[in-house]
């Protein structure tokens, strides 16, 4: 039996690609496409809204009575409802939405005692390899190398810096023993803005329709090392999310990461 899938944020940039790829792959039975109540496409066929074939599932604001897994790429204000729905109905949860607050993270941690959950700021394979590399590179280079993270995204992105940039910084801090997020400097301006040793600069660029570019530069006197990741298409994230959903439905309640899904943790 194919897992019953709920897509939350279904008419968004990510939601539409997840619906389309889920339909193409035929691995899932899409049982609901959830959107905010006042979305102009409510009531329309979710497949057609996504630019794919008819799915015979209407875009709606209600969560279904039964499902196996929910994939949420919406916005932070919506994710508590998805977490409650999944916990109360024993539905596995793949959460890709970024910009979550501490309370939401605590809620997810508590929920993971009852259902399997994956929270990942970036579902691409390449970025997850980079997540596990950056800490190692920072420790090998040592404290004489300044660390600066630059992320670039499309003009519509709401949160800044990106969840991915924060995860990169957090992983560096974990490996080097720096405080997170206290060591981060967001942007730099002014007459007295010289770099302080032990800080990590984080810079967010918003322009046009950039899907996602992240670079981590380690620089000392005489050389720099830059690790860079570029995403050409949202399908990279959507495929990762569906891979995570397929993996998660067979797991026990716990909080998992994409590294667990990919077997690189």
Residue with tokens 């380690």: 218
Contact 183, 173 (CB under 8 A): yes
Q: Which is nearer to ligand NAD, 101 or 198 (CB)?
A: 101
Work out whether the CA dihedral 175, 261, 53, 65 comes out positive or negative: negative
153: annotated active-site residue:
yes
For residue 161, cis peptide bond before it (omega within 30 degrees of 0): yes
**What is the smallest separation between the CB atom of 235 and ligand NAD, expressed in angstroms?**
11
| Alpha-carbon torsion, ordered 100, 4, 56, 61, to 10 deg | -30
**Cβ-proximal residue to ligand NAD, closest one:** 12
**What is the smallest separation between the CB atom of 98 and ligand NAD, expressed in angstroms?**
4
Residue with tokens 């899938």: 5
Q: Which is nearer to ligand NAD, 6 or 146 (CB)?
A: 6
197: annotated active-site residue:
no
Question: Under the rule (CB under 6 A), what is the footprint of ligand NAD?
Answer: 8-9, 11-15, 34-36, 39, 73-75, 78, 96-99, 120-123, 237
Q: Which is nearer to ligand NAD, 36 or 107 (CB)?
A: 36
**What is the smallest separation between the CB atom of 129 and ligand NAD, expressed in angstroms?**
14
**What is the smallest separation between the CB atom of 104 and ligand NAD, expressed in angstroms?**
12
- The Cα-based distances of 216 to 69, 138, 199, 219 in angstroms read 34, 10, 13, 10
Q: Which is nearer to ligand NAD, 226 or 233 (CB)?
A: 233
Which of 4, 16, 39, 153 is catalytic? The answer is: 153
Which of 4, 157, 214, 229 is catalytic? The answer is: 157
Mention every residue, 6+ apart, whose C-beta is less than 8 A from residue 12: 73, 74
**What is the smallest separation between the CB atom of 57 and ligand NAD, expressed in angstroms?**
15
Beta pairing partners, 217:
148, 226
Q: Which is nearer to ligand NAD, 85 or 218 (CB)?
A: 85
Mention every residue, 6+ apart, whose C-beta is less than 8 A from residue 38: none
Starting at the edge strand found earlier in the chain, the sheet holding 59-60 runs 59-60, 29-34, 4-8, 69-72, 92-95, 116-119, 254-256
Active-site residues, by number, are 153, 157
């Amino acid at each position: 039996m194919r897992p019953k899938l709920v897509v939350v944020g279904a008419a968004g940039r990510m939601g539409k690609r997840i619906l389309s790829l889920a339909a193409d792959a035929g691995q899932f039975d899409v049982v609901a496409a959830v959107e905010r109540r006042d979305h102009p496409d409510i009531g329309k066929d979710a497949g057609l809204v996504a630019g794919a074939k008819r799915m015979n599932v209407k875009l709606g604001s209600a969560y279904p009575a039964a499902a196996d897994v929910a994939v949420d790429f919406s916005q932070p204000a919506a994710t508590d409802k998805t977490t409650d729905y999944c916990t109360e109905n024993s539905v596995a949860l793949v959460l890709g939405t970024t910009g979550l607050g501490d309370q939401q993270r605590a809620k997810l941690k508590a929920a993971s005692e009852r259902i399997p959950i994956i929270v990942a700021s970036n579902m691409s394979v390449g970025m997850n390899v980079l997540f596990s590399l950056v800490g190692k590179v920072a420790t090998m280079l040592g404290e004489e190398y300044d660390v600066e993270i630059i992320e670039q995204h499309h003009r519509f992105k709401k949160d800044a810096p990106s969840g991915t940039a924060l995860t990169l910084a957090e992983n560096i801090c974990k490996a080097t023993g720096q405080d997170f997020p206290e060591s981060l400097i967001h942007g730099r301006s002014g007459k007295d803005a010289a770099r302080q040793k032990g800080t990590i600069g984080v810079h967010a660029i918003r322009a046009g329709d950039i899907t996602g570019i992240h670079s981590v530069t380690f620089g000392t006197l005489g050389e720099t090392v830059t690790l860079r990741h570029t995403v050409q298409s949202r399908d990279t994230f959507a495929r990762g999310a569906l891979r995570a959903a397929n993996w998660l439905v067979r797991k026990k309640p716990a909080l998992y990461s994409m590294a667990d899904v990919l077997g690189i943790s």
